[in-house]
Chains A and B, each alone.
Chain A
Amino acid sequence: MAIRAQPLTLLQWTGAVMAALVFLAITAPLAAVAWRAEETSVLGAADWSAIRFTVSQAAISAFLSVVLAIPVARALARQRFAGRGLVVALMGAPFLLPVIVAILGLLAVFGRNGWVNAGLGLLGLPPLEIYGMHGVVLAHVFFNLPLAVRLLLQGWMSIPSERFRLAVALGFSNANMRQHFEWPLLRMMVPGVFLVIFLICSTSFAVALTLGGGPRATTVELAIYQAFRFDFDLGRAALLGLVQVAICAFAAVAVLGVAVPQVLGAGLDRAPVMWPEAHRHRFIDGAAVLSAALFLMMPMIALGLRGVPALPTLPAVAWEAAGRSVVLSFATAVVAVAMALPLAALIARGRARSILELVGSLSIAVSPLVVGTGLFLLLFPVVNPTLLAIPVTGLVNALAALPFLLRALVPAITEAELTQGRLATALGMRGWPRFRIAILPRLRRPLGFGAGLAAALSMGDLGVIALFSAPSQGTLPLEMYRLMGAYRTDDAQGAALLLLLLSLGIFWLFDRGGRLHAAT
C-alpha cells in the first residue's frame, strides 16, 4: 500500500520514541524490583490457581461486557431520542469510580439490604447473595459495560453519513446493514475492546477479593500484595509482575490477531442521517438502552442519595483535595494525548502493529503495586519520593489511560489513512500538514472522548505511589479513603459523590468538546 512505502514522518518518529518511553516506564520499575530481590522465586501451586482464577474471571467479565454492550451501542447509534446525550454521558461514570465507592453503590442495590433484595422480599422470594464469582463478574460488567458501549459507539459513529445516504437510497434492509456496516465494524472493534477490558479485569484485586467472598478469589494482584507486604519477597513480586506481562502478551497476540482493519468508506464529515428504518427497531433498542441505563444508574443514584446530605458539611480538606485533583486530571489528559497521538499514528501505519499495541496495553496489565514499588526504588536515591507523589501519580495515570486512547484513536486514524490518506499523499502532502489537514479533523471525536477518559480516570485513581508514600496534601480519592479510615463514613460518601460529579463533569466537558464540530 502507498502509505507503507512512505518513510516515517516526524510524528511517527515521535510515536516510536513514545513507545520506547512507555515500554521503559513499565519495564524499568519491574526490573528495579527484580534487581533488589535477594533470591529468585518459582511459581507454586497457589500461584497457578491465582493465575487460573485471574484469567477466567477476566475472560468472563470481558466477554459479557462486550456482548452486552453491542445491542446498547447499536441502539444508541441508530436511535435519536430525548435524553440520548445524557445517557451517553452517564455511560462515562462507572469506570471512573474508585473501587470501594463502586462496591458500596452496587451493594446498595444488590447487597443484603439492597433494593433488589427488598423487592424480592416483598414478593416473598429468597434473597440473592452477591458474594461469589457472579458478584465479581457483576461488578466488572458494571465497571466495563459502559466503557465497551462508548468504544463501540465510537466505531458506529465513524461510519460516514454519505454511506448511510447511499444505503437509504438503495433501500438497504436490516440484513444488508448488518452485512455491509455492522459486521465489518464489529470485526474491527470488538477484539481490541475485549482486550482492554480483559486486561483491566486481570489486575483487579479489591473487587475480586471483596465480592469474591474470600481467599478462593485470590488474583495475581493479591498474590503480589502478599509477596510484598506479608513476605517482603521482592523476587516473587517481580516474578508475579512478569506473569501479568505474560498474560497481557498472550491475550494481545491471541485477540488482536483476529482484528481486521476495515474500510467503511470515505465521507465529507456531514451531519449524520437517520439509520434506515430506525423506527422498526424502536422496541428492541429501547429495551437495550433502558435495561443498561437501569443497571448502571441504580448504584449511582444510591451513591447520590447517600452523598447529598454530607455535601454541604464536607470538610475543607476535601474541597482543597478536589481542587488538586481537577488540576491533576487536566495535566494527565494533556500528557496522555501527547503520548497517544504519535503512538496511534505509528500503530496505524501498520508495521509491527501487534508489538506496539502490546506496549500500549502494558500499562493497565501490570500491577500498580509493582510499578509503584519500582518507581519508588528508582526515585528514592535521587529525590524524596513523597514530594514527587502527585506528579508521578499524574504520569502513571496518563500511562494507564493510554490503552483507552489508543483503542479510540487507532481505528479512527487507520480509517482516515485508508480513505483521506491516499488522496493527501497523491496531492503531495507530507508530514505535519498532511496529518493536520487530512487526518486530525477526523480524530476530534475519539480525541475528545479519550482525553476526557484520561482526565476522569485520573480523578478517580488513588495513585500508585500513595500505596506507601502518600503526599500529605492528597488528591480527592486519597482524602476519601482517609475519611473512611477515620470512621467518617458520611463525609466519605459526600466526598465520593463530589468525586463522581467532578469526574463526570470533566469527562463530559472533553467529550462534548470533541463532538461539537462533528455534530454540525
Chain B
Amino acid sequence: MNQTSIIAAGMTFMAGAAFADLPVLSVYTYDSFTSDWGPGPAIEAAFEQTCECDLQFVGAGDGAALLARIRLEGQRSDADVVLGLDTNLTAAAVDTGLFVPHGLETPGLTLPIAWDDEVFLPFDWGYFAFVHNADMENVPRSFVELAESDARIIIQDPRSSTPGLGLLMWIEAAYGQGAPAIWEGLADNIVTVTPGWSEAYGLFLEGEADMVLSYTTSPAYHLIAEEDASKAAAPFTEGHYLQVEVAGILGSSDQPDLAQDFLRFMLTPDFQQVIPTTNWMYPAALPAEMLPSGFETLIEPDTALLLSPQDAARLRDEALAAWQSALSR
C-alpha cells in the first residue's frame, strides 16, 4: 500500500514535470461529464493526442451550478471553455458578457433544428420524454391524455434541476397561454417532485411511479448497457422539447486559440462518438448511421420544440409561477 502510494506520488510528479511546458486548457463542465462513467476521460485522452496541451476538466455541479460558478468567478476565472450549459441558460450566460464568439463554421451539425448561435456551439442534444416500463398499458400520447389518465408521474423541480426546467419550457412551448391549465390537469398525476434527475429516476426504478421525466435516449442505456429492453419512452403528439447542450469560450481565456481548437475538435467524430454511450444523448455532429446499435430502436419525435434562448429567459419566471400555483393547491 505504502509503496504503491509512493510510486503513485512519483508518477504524479513526473507527469507534472512532463506537462510542465505544455499549455493548459481548462474546461469547466458539469460533474457527471468528468466522472469515470462520463465522456470526460476518453475525450481528454483523444484531444491530448493532437493538441500538445494539457486538457483539464473541472467539474461543477450541474448546468445551472456551472453558470453560477462562472458568474462568481467573473473575469478572474481560470476557465478557458465552459461546456455543458443548455439553451435555457445561454441567454443569461451571454448577458454576463463573459463569453466571446466562437468564430467557427458549423456545416456538419446533425441537430433536428437549425443552429446559428455566434457564441455557443452544441456538442450533444436529446429530447425530453416520459419514460415508462414497456409493459405499461394505455400509455398516454399527449399531455392532455396524460392529465386525463390516472398515470402516476415523477418530475424534477425546475428550481433545482435542468430537466425540471426543461419540462416547464416544453409545456410552455407546446401550449403557451394554455400552459397553466395543463399544469392544473397534471397536478393530480404528479406523485412527487424531486430535487434532481437522479432522485426522480431512482424513484421510478423503485416502482414509485408509472412514468418519469427523462429523455428519449434513456431506454438506450438499459438496452445497451444492461441488455434490458423493458423501458420505453412515450411519444407525445405535441412534439418533444429539445435539450441542446453547448460549449462556449470565455473572453478572459489566456489560451483563445487552443480553446477554439477544442471547440473545433468537439464537432469531430473523435469527440462525438464518445457521447452516445457515456452521456446517453445524441451527438450534435455525427450522422445517424454512426450511432451505436440500439439507438435505432428509440422513438423519433415528428416535431422538435425549442424556445429561443431569449424566449426561454423571458418566459421562465412567469412559467415557474404558474407551475408553483398549479401544484400548490
Chain A positions near chain B (C-beta within 8 angstroms): 36, 46, 100, 103-104, 107-108, 111-113, 131, 205-206, 209-216, 222, 225-226, 228-230, 232, 315, 317, 373, 376-377, 380-381, 384, 386, 466-470, 472, 479, 481-489, 492
Q: Is B159 an interface residue (CB 8 A)?
A: yes
Verify A215–B323 contact, CB threshold 8 A.
yes
- A113-B206, A210-B194, A230-B320 in contact; A485/B280 too (CB < 8 A)? no
Q: Which 9 A-B pairs have the closest CB atoms?
A: A486-B37, A113-B207, A468-B65, A226-B159, A484-B198, A482-B35, A468-B61, A229-B64, A470-B59
A206/B195 contact (C-beta < 8 A), A225-B159, A470-B61 known: yes
Q: Cα distance A482–B65 when bound, in Å?
A: 16
What 16 additional pairs, Cβ within 8 angstroms, besides A206-B194, A472-B57, A482-B36?
Answer: A113-B208, A205-B195, A213-B190, A229-B65, A230-B158, A232-B68, A232-B92, A380-B73, A466-B31, A467-B65, A469-B58, A470-B59, A486-B38, A487-B222, A487-B225, A489-B201
Find the A residue at minimum CB distance from B78: A384
CB neighbours (8 Å) of B157 from chain A are: 209, 215, 222
Question: Which residue of chain A has its CB nearest to the CB of B214?
Answer: A487
A346 to chain B, nearest CB (A): 36
Give the residues in chain A near B120, CB-CB below 8 Å: none
Residues of A near B195 (CB, < 8 A) are 205-206, 209-210, 222, 225
Whether the pair B208, A111 counts as a contact (CB closer than 8 A) is yes
Contacts of B57 in A (CB 8 A): 472
Q: Mark B49-68, 1 if CB is under 8 A from A, else 0.
A: 00000000111110011111
Closest to A471 in B: B59
Given contact pairs A113-B206, A484-B198, A232 touches B159 in the complex (Cβ within 8 A)? no
Residue of A nearest to B193 (CB): A214
* A482 and B31 in contact, given A206-B199, A214-B193, A384-B78 (Cβ under 8 angstroms): yes
B262 part of interface (Cβ distance < 8 Å):
no
Alpha-carbon distance A111/B208, docked complex (angstroms): 7
Distance of A261 from chain B, by nearest CB (Å): 41
B314 within 8 A of A: no
B192 x A213 contact (CB < 8 A): yes
Dominant SS among interface residues on chain A:
helix
A108 and B59 CA atoms in complex are apart in Å by: 32
- On whether the beta carbons of A380 and B72 are closer than 8 Å, the reply is yes
Q: A211, A468, A482: which contacts B37 (Cβ < 8 A)?
A: A482
Say whether B192 contacts A100, CB under 8 Å.
Answer: no
Does chain A have a CB within 8 A of B260? no
Given contacts A100-B198, A386-B58, contact A216 B328 (CB under 8 A): yes
Instruction: Give 1 or 0 for each of B20-51: 1 = CB within 8 Å of chain A CB.
Output: 00000000000110111110000000000000
| B160 interface hit (Cβ, 8 Å) | yes
Residues in B neighbouring A230, C-beta threshold 8 A: 64, 158-160, 165, 320
Interface membership of B141, Cβ < 8 A: no
State whether A228 touches B68 (Cβ < 8 A): yes
